[in-house]
């Protein structure tokens, strides 16, 4: 069953993710934030891609995974995010050569699947 938010724009999904990530005095729910950031990232939101990379890099709501963090961050960089560019350098410094190679391949795959077709 598809919820209202899943059927909406990436802006709505991003706003939900931000609510779960920044709960203003309440415990944050990184797993739910991850879910909504991922939906928005798949729908092309550059900010969601950057935030999703942060969750993977920190291991918040998901197991720490520098390869996925790099890939999502790189997709945001492909869309000219300066903040993601700075974060990408930090993530890259923590990766092995093999992780970096896989991360680059994954980033291109994500970009082709989730961004390129929206540009046409």
pLDDT tier, 8 (very low <50, low <70, confident <90, very high otherwise): low
Q: Check pLDDT > 50 for residue 55.
A: yes
What is the number of structural domains in the chain? 1
Helix residue ranges per DSSP H, 30-65? 30-42, 46-58
Which domain, by its residues, includes 35? 5-119
> Which tokens hold the place of 8?
């909406």
Q: Given this model, what pLDDT does residue 2 score?
A: 44
Q: Given this model, what pLDDT does residue 1 score?
A: 38
Better-predicted residue by pLDDT, 10 or 90 = 90
> Which tokens hold the place of 54?
């942060």
CATH number of the domain enclosing 101:
1.25.40.10
Taking residues 21-44, what's their average pLDDT?
90
Better-predicted residue by pLDDT, 117 or 82 = 82
């Amino acid at each position: 069953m598809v919820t209202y938010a899943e059927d909406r724009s990436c802006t709505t999904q991003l706003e939900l993710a931000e609510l779960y990530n920044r709960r203003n005095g309440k415990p944050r729910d990184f797993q739910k934030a991850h879910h909504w950031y991922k939906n928005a990232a798949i729908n092309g939101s550059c900010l969601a891609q950057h935030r999703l990379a942060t969750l993977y890099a920190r291991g918040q709501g998901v197991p720490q995974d520098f390869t996925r963090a790099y890939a999502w961050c790189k997709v945001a960089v492909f869309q000219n995010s300066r903040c993601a560019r700075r974060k990408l350098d930090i993530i890259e410094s923590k990766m092995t050569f093999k992780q970096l190679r896989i991360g680059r391949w994954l980033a291109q795959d994500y970009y082709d699947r989730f961004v390129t077709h929206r540009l046409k």
